[in-house]
Chains A and B, each alone.
Chain A
Amino acid sequence: MVAKKKGKRDLPAALAKMADEVIGSANKGKTPTLDIPVRSLANVRFNEQKRYIEMGSAKQEREFFNVNMAKKFMQTMCVAAACRQLEDEGKTTSIRDLFYMIKHRIDGSNENTVDDQSESDAVIEDLEVTAQFIREELNLFAENKGALAGEITLVDSGDTIDGRAVGSGGWAIPSIVEEDVIQFKKCTANFVLLIEKGAVWHRLNQDKFWRKHKCIILHGGGQPPRGVRRLCYRFVNELKLPLYVYVDNDPWGYYIYSVVKQGSINLAFESQRMAVPSARFIGLSSFDPEKFGLDKKSTAIGLDEGDIRRAKEILAYPWFQSKEWQKEIHNMLANGAKFELEALTNKSISFVTEEYLPRKIKEKDFLD
């Protein structure tokens, strides 16, 4: 890993500020306290102007000399110190590695600093919001998930990757896709297509969909992880490409789209770095089976109770209030059925690449 890039924010300085709080309070004879933004539904709101979910301003005080918070406080400082070490040594680790970095027996006790990874994971998220550095900037990563292929050449940790020559598996999208890891070299794509499922992505890749339509196709294996979302963000913001999202026609598909577009409740604090408000919903729409003459009888799956409940929740989200979306969701409920992306294969194997997507793109048949 390379040294700090120009323009990169100074992580050690931000972390040192946390130490300063401890030192300053100790000097004054006061209890050291960290102000940590609250990460919960109560502290999340939809910013109408920016079109994404934002975290509110509520903060909780984490006091060192409070029995209920002392351990978390200590853990927060330990994680901060570990991140500083990673920064100094120019390495990234998984969050599991970090758990083992800070885990040790506390002197003079039979207690460990951390006993379960869930403790350090929660503290990492606290640290992200407190120091205002996202996980990737803290040199931490989660499991790799997702793949990419298409009309782009990029550099990954110094290796040049030609998106048109990545074989059938595609290029595995790393967890960290920040500028210092991934640089875009050459892009000939006109748009980016984010696909919910690896299997459908595979169909498109095999059919070289990206070559014919000059695009980048990627998938996130269900709910796209941060790396995939962050990469989409960069495509849209740095390469000025439109982003289309292609998901199942069910409430979960809708929500995946909304997370890509507006950000998630869980990671609201990262919306500004990840949300792509300009993303468009390309399909599968609840009107598509009709439109494309699908054999509904053989391809529809009935909505179950959970689907209906989730659909109603989504109907209520502020970012699904447009007329079109309400129509879309109500239509699904009226159909009483959901459709998977693979349903299109019922027509023919390459129906999706040869008929469905070209027609959608041509007709600009998107939902906003």
Chain B
Amino acid sequence: MPSRNAAPEAAPRRRPEVKKATAHEMAARQRDISVAEFFQKNRHLLGFDNPRKALLTTVKEAVDNSLDACEEAGILPDITVKIEVARSGDGSLPTTPAQAERFIVTVQDNGPGIVKKNIGKVFAKLLYGSKFHRLRMSRGQQGIGISAAGMYGQLTTGKPTKVISKIEKEDQAHVFEVSIDTKKNEPVEHETKSISWDREHGTSVSIELEGRYQKGKGSVDEYLELTSIANPHASFAYHSPETAEPKKYPRGVEVLPAAPREIKPHPYGIELGMLLKMLQDTKSHWLSGFLSSEFVRVSSAVADEICKNAKLSPRARPRDVMGKDAEVLYKTLQTTKLMSPPTDCISPIGEKAILAGLYKEIDGDFYTAVTRPPSVYRGNPFVIEAGIAFGNKGFLPKDGDAPPEPAANGELALEEEGEKSGSKRALTLAELRKAARLKEKLAKEEERGPELARLIRFANRVPLVYQQTACATYKAATEVGWRKYGLTQSRGSLPQGSLCIFVHMGSVWVPFTSESKEAIADYDEIRKEIRLALQECGRKLGIHLNRIARAKYEMSRRDKFGLYIKEVAEACGKLKVKYGNVNVEKLKKQLQAVAEKVTGGEETEADLNRKENAPSELANTIIVTEKGLEGAVPEGLLNTKPIPVSPPDGAHQAEAGSGEDAADEAPAKGDEKEKGKAKGKAKGSASAQAAPPAKAAKTAPVPDDIPIYSGGKQVSGKKVKGNAGAALQPQKKGKGKGNQKELF
């Protein structure tokens, strides 16, 4: 990527030795800077500061657009992301993705498609979009993202953006190659043709760009995992440049989130410049009418009051209010007592859906989620949601009598499991991975100290992967006193342990610290809400941990007493010979009963091995026990069995073959299978590329009983669930024809 500084400098420079310029000379150098030109020089603001980030940003912008489009059209999104290695500038093809310098990113969705005449503008004109001009909770806001990605590709490889789009009921899909005239900020359409495309509607965007492919934090894998958590209603397939088979992120809920309602701005949330623009643009003839129709929470009575306080005539023409008057008006607006904006324009992910998202992607034993009531900062409504996924395996009661250290524990568990399920079975892949992870984790801890919690952040369902420490979520998460909830935490840092902290902010306007939208700005109101949400999650975790710790402690006491009971009873037997005698076996039983009584009775067992519902104080929580799931487990998940034994590959293939769609599916191994493969399930969600909109999934507020299916997890998801299909929902009417492979 060419250095930013190499661009020709247009702005006047100040150099002491240069002769002072006259006003005329300066005027000669002053000219318009096109937006595109501006961003060409400031692309770091948009997330294109380095090749690796550029690759992610491109995927991200395209996926965000797809999700927004699908949701708006009431379609459950099925999105395919593909990253291919492209020939380098000199025409050579790199041997490994890590060495590659150029990539082709293709993102394809089953959205409504884009009208032909708009395609150029959507993909090759900055600040063109449907979202900037209204206050509504949506992923993109400024209409910069995807065109910026296209522009970046164009700048680094000279290749145009390729777009295929098909609108429902049109026979042909349109294929475009568009680039951007960076001076005029106007699209240039290179080529247009029509092809037949075997899907009803959808959009596919391909951008060739300079980038760098690297796994780990900030990678495309991570981004898709996170997106899949916050958007459990969407399914993703990811073709990475490394593997032949796509990695799948299955759908977790079958209902679209409620469509957010569009609202007018609240006077507290606007700035003077915006007010001036609104005064000019309004269709109202009178100032009072302008105020009451362009803002929320301003009734005509309030509008009159505002005019009076600002010493302006309610009958003034809005266009004539400018200069000092406008400033007075602005100040009056800020000081007038107004109701908070309505909050129903916010569409939270919902506790159940967050649970489903966390559960399907993050390995853990305890999940909980909280959606806060909506709140307002600077006239903008917002809602904070938080969740926690916690791996209990690493947690041990502090008591000295506690079972052995985690390592031994984990290994022990594996051994036992192996024994139980018969000697023939070798450890499953998932178990081996689990063991390997455990080992790795321990090794890491030895090297670098204990593992810190992972914080995953979202704004309007979009994952934020950079600038964690600048983010209000991070500040709030480190502010929470996690020790109260049974975790370890150093001052001013995240808690330690196998913990994943989820924070989502939904708002009509998420305040970012920069244009690249990487961190949420630190407003007191926002930070407080985040803290409250996290505390609520923490409390639930604390209750859970306490209970487990207590139960484990009681169990260890009981076990210890149990060991000694035999000794004591037998000693009593010997002591009583010829002195009354005693039934040793009966005495043992009696002592055992007393021991159980003093160690918490049946409750202890129940806490460790709960079969029934979780206690009432743990609402919206899933707890994974050896016997299965408990708590607020959505219906679909209830049917899942605890980690089943995977049959050997051969057997698995045979079974897979019996499913109708199985053959079409990209061959997935073992645990990676999609739910479509499950027996008795004809239609797999992954293959349901084009569900008829409106019928397939109604947009509905998040109900309590969101169906969640428990389809096979990603291997990366670490969990392996069986009989997934049983939970599939009836409204799923995927066509099952689309095969992702043929699209590329």
Interface residues of A (CB under 8 A from B): 12-13, 15-16, 18-20, 22-23, 25-27, 29-32, 64-65, 67, 70-71, 73-74, 77-78, 80-81, 84-85, 106-109, 111, 113
Contact = CB atoms under 8 A, between A and B. Distances in A.
Given A23-B587, A71-B564, A31 B575 contact: no
B723 to A, nearest CB: 36
A340 B198 CA distance: 114
A73 B582 CA distance: 19
11 contacts: A12-B579, A16-B575, A22-B569, A22-B572, A27-B590, A65-B599, A70-B560, A74-B568, A74-B571, A81-B575, A84-B577
Given A27-B590, A30-B594, 15 more contacts: A22-B587, A22-B591, A23-B582, A23-B587, A26-B590, A31-B598, A32-B594, A64-B561, A64-B564, A65-B557, A74-B568, A74-B571, A77-B572, A78-B567, A84-B574
Which are the 5 A-B pairs with shortest beta-carbon distances?
Answer: A26-B590, A16-B579, A77-B571, A81-B571, A19-B575
A133 B158 CA distance: 101
B568 A107 contact: no
A31 B591 CA distance: 8
B735 to A, nearest CB: 59
B331 interface: no
A9 to B, nearest CB: 14
A19 B571 contact: yes
Interface of B: 401, 557, 560-561, 563-564, 566-572, 574-580, 582, 587, 590-591, 593-595, 597-599
B567 A74 contact: yes
B interface secondary structure, majority: helix
Contact of A16 (B576, B594, B595): B576
Contacts of A78: 567, 571
Given A12-B578, A84-B574, A29 B567 contact: no
Nearest to B401: A67
A52 to B, nearest CB: 32
A107 B587 CA distance: 17
A22 B561 CA distance: 14
Contacts of B560: 67, 70
A70 B564 contact: yes
B461 to A, nearest CB: 50
A25 B571 contact: no
A65 B566 contact: no
Contact of B576 (A19, A31, A70): A19
Given A26-B590, A65-B595, A73 B564 contact: yes
A19 B572 contact: yes
Contacts of A73: 564, 568
A interface secondary structure, majority: helix
B594 A106 contact: no
A25 B594 contact: yes
Given A70-B560, A106-B563, A65 B579 contact: no
Given A12-B578, A19-B572, A67-B557, A31 B594 contact: yes
A67 B572 CA distance: 20
Contacts, number: 93
A26 B598 contact: no
A59 B251 CA distance: 67
Contacts of B557: 65, 67
Given A26-B587, A108-B563, A18 B575 contact: yes
A26 B590 CA distance: 5
Contacts of A15: 575
Q: Which of A19, A22, A31 has the most CB of B within 10 A?
A: A19
Contacts of A107: 563, 566
A19 B582 contact: yes
A65 B594 contact: yes
B580 A65 contact: no
Given A16-B575, A26-B594, A85-B574, A70 B567 contact: no
Contacts of A84: 574-575, 577
A74 B574 contact: no
A113 B567 CA distance: 8
Contacts of B568: 22, 32, 64, 73-74, 77
A31 B569 CA distance: 13
Given A19-B571, A84-B574, A65 B563 contact: no
B582 A13 contact: no
Q: Which of B560, B566, B574, B575 has the most CB of A within 10 A?
A: B575
B578 A106 contact: no
A80 B571 contact: yes
A103 to B, nearest CB: 12
A65 B598 contact: yes
A16 B598 contact: no
Contacts of B574: 81, 84-85
A181 B289 CA distance: 119
Contacts of A71: 564
Contact of B575 (A25, A70, A80, A109): A80
Q: Which of A23, A32, A80, A108 has the most CB of B within 10 A?
A: A23
Nearest to B590: A26
Contacts of A80: 571, 575
Nearest to B566: A107
Contacts of B598: 31, 65
B98 to A, nearest CB: 49
Q: Which of B569, B576, B595 has the most CB of A within 10 A?
A: B576
A74 B594 contact: no
A30 B590 CA distance: 10
A24 to B, nearest CB: 10
A29 B596 CA distance: 10
Contacts of A22: 568-569, 572, 587, 591
A15 B571 CA distance: 10
A18 B568 CA distance: 11
Q: Which of B568, B576, B599 has the most CB of A within 10 A?
A: B568
A255 to B, nearest CB: 38
Contacts of A111: 563
Contacts of A18: 575
Contacts of A64: 561, 564, 568, 591
Contacts of B576: 16, 19-20, 23
Contacts of A109: 563
A32 B575 contact: no
A29 B579 contact: no
Q: Which of A22, A84, A106 has the most CB of B within 10 A?
A: A22
B572 A13 contact: no
Nearest to B580: A16
Nearest to A79: B571
A106 B593 CA distance: 20
B580 A26 contact: no
B728 to A, nearest CB: 46
A85 B582 CA distance: 17
Contacts of B572: 19, 22-23, 77
Contacts of A74: 564, 567-568, 571
A106 B571 CA distance: 13
A212 B103 CA distance: 118
Contacts of B401: 67
Contacts of A26: 587, 590-591, 594
B415 to A, nearest CB: 16
A32 B590 CA distance: 11
Contacts of A25: 594
B590 A70 contact: no
Nearest to A111: B563
Contacts of B599: 65
B569 to A, nearest CB: 8
A16 B572 CA distance: 8
Contacts of A31: 594, 598
Contacts of A32: 568, 591, 594
A16 B576 CA distance: 5
Contacts of B595: 65
A111 B560 CA distance: 10
A298 to B, nearest CB: 60
Nearest to B579: A16
B389 to A, nearest CB: 33
